[in-house]
Structure 1
Amino acid sequence: MAFLAACLLAFAVFFNAQARLVPSNISRGSSLTPHSNSSWLSSSGVYAFGFYKQGNGYAVGIVLVGIPEKIVVWTANRDDPLVSDNATLLLTADGLSLKPTQGQPMVASTTQAVFSASMLDSGSQLYSAKSETNSSTGIFRLIMQKDGNLVQYPVATSDPYYATGTDGSGNNVTLNLDADGHLYLVNNTVTIFNITNGGITTDQSKSYLMRLDIDGIFRLYSYSLKQNGNWSVEWQSTLDKCNPLGVCGFNSYCVTMDLKAECKCLPGFEPTTLGDQTSGCGRNTVADVCNSVNESFTYIMQELPSTRWDNFAYMTLSLSDKEECNKACLEDCNCEAALFVGGSCRMQRLPLSYGRRRLDTSDSAFIKVGISKPPAADNFLKDKNKRKGLVAVLILGVLLTAFGTSLLVISVFAFWKPKVWGYKMMNQLNGDVEWNEDEVAPRPYAYEQLEKMTDNFKEEVGRGASATVYKGVMLCSHKLVAVKKLENVAAEGEKEFQTEMKVIGRTHHRSLVRLLGYCHDGPKKLLVYEYMRNGSLADILFTPKRKLYWEERMGIARNIARGLLYLHEDCDTQIIHCDIKPQNILMDEYMCPKIADFGLAKLLQQDQTRTTTGIRGTKGYVAPEWHRKMPITVKADVYSFGIVLLEIVCCRRNVDWSLPQEEAILDELVYHYFESGELSKLIRDEEINVRQFERVIKVALWCMQDEPSLRPSMKKVLLMLEGTVDIPIPPNPSSFLNSI
């Protein structure tokens, strides 16, 4: 009876007596496949067992098919990976087997057909699904406890948020759903609790279903068997979408918006996983309050009024004033949050859990948030009152020392200056003043120097729409360089040009090409970069010079992501590259990628997060917001990275009109295969872990969302590529655009 018990744990569905007919027999050797749309029907035609579509694959389960709208009532091995369309389910003497073999046998065999399901008296549990499109185990459960109490909990916790209050009623209590829609608890034959309170009108033309939904609410549904029937909620355990504990994860709180539960992060926090509210939030800055050695940060308290949280205080103070509670937490380095509840100040460490906005309460939470500290005052001025007795002696000593030192410096400078100046001028004329690796900012070059370094721009190594790149050699060290000669560029002010070159030149990261110098001589504008021996990523991906294996390609993708993360979050001045594509990713002698060509980059001030500017970038890689004249953020680079990631994964260009029309545009083709569960068709001539392949495809599809706010940050992208966070199923990248 394992088959029946498994069915019970997922859903409980009851139809009226007319649906309970004699079962049809299924002979040994019968089989089912996804593509044949075959199934094993119950004799009433109400239930069907077989494959059903889920996400980008198939699951095996029981579906309610006696109505126009199919409803999944049970899924076999619901937490196992989905199967592809070449799977076969076979009934053998040993039971049901799934081929190709996927782990353990799917279900045990049974000699009896299943007519109905009911909650057993053995502490059975009902679990929610993970999402509307994913029937694996979710985060909520309904349990019939042995003490007779029917309780709802978050999974893996013992924190109830709904209970019938029937504990102490004995260990024979069962949950029952009659064919007329009455839901109640029975101890042997005695009704001890009427859950629906008898408020449902008996109607033989309706069928009923009880389900623990993905939002954690236990509901009773009815379906009219008449023409054009539909599912209606007859009863639910709560009307408050924020009532289920755990609907919002750690360090976030639930707010009801337009009858929906929306999760908001604490001040100074950001979502841990994009698209998954239950994953909670994490700090967006390092906050080791007690042991911090970062003198650039200080801490303030920010209030969240009218919120309630679970109380796990390590200390409670009797304080009648909010400000006193605020101050007490701020002065205690162990305190990360303080809950002010009815005259008590509850000092807490993070994480906070089960937060929700309650307009009927005056409770408040105070959160400790790190902010930039203003420059420290001069210590000498701070302590001047303590050193008044030494002032006269110090002044006299400093004056005498300064006078003697000044005489010495003036004498040396007067003697050596003419010789040093003459030596520098001679070197400049000979073109021998070169970049020193210890220099931080790029150095300026005269145009004549770059002419000599490139042998009058003799060897061209690359060309773009607005620039040509030449191979050059430093005259003394013979170090190879790449000299980029900008052409047809709109005139810029000298100050703005030099400022941008110096800011970009101060970027130091192993995944960025180093800018060594520049020339700005009127209309002549040139940039000097370190030379990359292996050309561009495009040369390697799109030509058969060298085949990159899967792990090599994934290493390249992660390093590109690290470079963009540095530009977006770790630079003193935030940089939007604006033209990420394989041609602008160069490969060094060790085949490590480095982002290049900052000619179109946009610099943001410290208080800026977005900018409005004319369209930049390359067709096929440009984010949709450029065309909609929307403000541009770093998410424009994220979109371009998503396209490049697909090209790295599939080793082909995003747009290739030499292919059949239905295959020409890579991002559209990939989502089609993703949706149909056929991603394996994209794998060419190498052994690739299919699950890793699907994971990276999902990262790319999130990056390419038309709506910028849906795209992850590069920090999240890198975490997903490294496999340290879960990746939710991405929607169709253009679904937002199609809805407006």
Structure 2
Amino acid sequence: MMTPVFLFFLLSSIFTVNAQQGQSIVKPGSILTPTTNSSWLSPSGLYAFGFYKQGNGYAVGVFLAGIPQKTVVWTANRDNPPVSTQVTLNFTSDGRLVLQSAQGTETSVANFDPASSASMLDTGNFVVYNSDNQSIWESFQNPTDTLLPTQRLLPNDSVVLKSSVSESNQSTGRFRAVMQQDGYVALYPVGTNLTLEYGYWSTSNGVPNGNLNLDDQGLLYVTNSIFNLTVSQSRNSAKGTVLYRLRMEDDGFLRLYSYNLQEQNGSWSIIWSPLNETGVNICFPRGLCGVNAFCDPGGNDINCTCLPGFVFIDESKRTSGCERNSTTENCNEKGMNTTMEEVSGIIWENLTYNRSVLLTKQDCNDACLQDCSCEAALFNDEVCGKQKLPLRFVNIKISNDPKETLAFIKVRTSTPSSDGNVTKKKGLEILIIGVSLVIFAFIVLAISGIAIYRSRIFANENILNTGNIVLSDEDVGPRSFTYIELEKITNGFKEELGRGSFGIVYKGTIENGQKIVAVKKLERLLVDREREFQTEMKVIGRTHHKNLIRLLGYCHDGPNRLLVYEYMCNGSLADVLFKPEKKPSWDERMGIACNIARGIFYLHEECVEKIIHCDIKPQNILMDENRCAKISDFGLAKLLKPDQSKISTGIRGTRGYVAPEWHQLKCPVTVKVDVYSFGIVLLEIISCRRCVDSNLPEEEAILEEWSYRCFECGELGKLVNDEEVEMRQLERMVKVALWCILYDPSLRPSMKKVLLMLEGTADIPVPSNRSFVSQYDQGFEENE
């Protein structure tokens, strides 16, 4: 007679055998490589888990191995770059599934508790088991862009079908399919709220708390175990002879495919798509054509069109979006003609940075035209909303609203040339004058030749010892150089270090080659370079701070204007932040931010005459051998006398970093313009990316908008790409930055307050929505 305990173990073993029948069991210690033993097959050989070819490398995922078209249905770490042939996929002895590089670096393929086995099933599901043979992770529960028969999509906002970039690139694309709590299957752009504003298709009815199912007969339906909603009818095929898959495509639509295994040289056929429904257009998905572009409906093809004044970023891939046809950063630059163009029939995402009540559309048109920060405007019901670039989710307007929204785009074109006859007349006059000058020049040349020759000999005698120039740390002010001396120091201006807005910087040596210097040669129109030269001399010559670049000397020799600075071996902050190989650690970035803040605080508060830098940006912050940040390029700076707090100016900074009030008519500029620019730079330091990047998804393109959205949603980890940082420090840094970039300058903190907040010695209020903050917040008190 069998005891109950023995019977229990006998039944358990029987169930375990039955559970594993038809499975391909993978045990810890198993290894795959891209070129040999590259996958673990399902029992029938239909599906495989392992390496597949992607681009110039390999990715890991689940794919159909039993048909000629090795279709990918799931991808691990889909947004990571392809790996080389030198990696291995290792099911480690301690139950982890990792990719190991030749150098030993490990990347987790899936996150689960220590596992005892895994199986590639004939359903296309890759399952991981614990020691009790219970499933602890499944690819079916973590879908990418594909739903297979017997797989379910649950009403969970975090488990959705996200399109791939393309058929050959499985990285996350722009669109997603969501099974909503209300029972509707709906389509949205990635990174948007699940609201009617962004949704562009859904099922006609919903099944509350239902889940989306695909059965092995091709029936696509939503069910909650009580009610069923059919999305696509079954094909009634013989079981096992036809394969089905539902895929979220890169054009933003779902498609249900079938594949007949009995056909030789078969292919996937589309048997259902929302595009087959009446009234659905291929241009419905918002953001289909990228930023600053829209899809022009007509036929079954995607026809992308740029907004006025824009051209395609990549002509060969028009869905990648558009950019300005002018590269100028200065909206008032000579030779550029700026106008506003009203565009009808289209609309875009309303992300205004300023709203004001204006009576007419012409008032709105003029307000944007006079504001250099404004690139576009929306006018509706006497409200004018100004916007920056890029413009996201541009689309054909579908609205019966009697109060129509009008859209305006700022367009820049080159100033047209003068009339041809006038040009010819001027040319003749120039020719006559030129001939006269040549004759006169020969006469002058004969007289001055001897004088020039003698001066050259004298100069050459004086520069024989130029290499012995010694600059003492105790020098009170900058040293005067001759042009010939600087030509010798730089070896004829041979090695270029970089280019700025007003000139070129060359590498030079003094003190017998022991000390390297940077020589800035101003090379613009005489008025501009003279202003630049005088400003640099006045500002840097009277400052001394460890976080400001040191001016060692200058040249005021005839028409030549040059400045000699200490050499910064690590280049600019832009070189450090935006190059992955040079990316500083989190602690280094914290230190850099504080160093910049100390330098600006010194300019604002500790100088005899307060200084507004006016052009704070990563390119103007240089890094020494210890990666200590030093502010440079004071060519746009303005001096404030002790009894002044603001100035009126027509100067312009760099687009993306310029405070909005800087370009308002009759609006005085204060030190708060530097606070705004610092806020933008601080966000770039936090995330190690540029403030505007059209190569990123539309919702992430504008860093300040993306940062506020992440802060509001409690997803700050996205700003640092889930880098391991101290979250309280990250939150503090982001809050400081958001306060700095408020639209109303009176609400921004002073640099003293900013420095205290960065160092953690002052409390930081929670910043409100920046578009409306001036209406609801009181800002910081300025009597610290």
Give the TM interval when normalised to the shorter protein: 0.3 to 0.5
Question: Which one has more relative contact order, counting CA pairs under 8 Å at least 6 apart?
Answer: 1
TM-score relative to the length of structure 1: 0.46
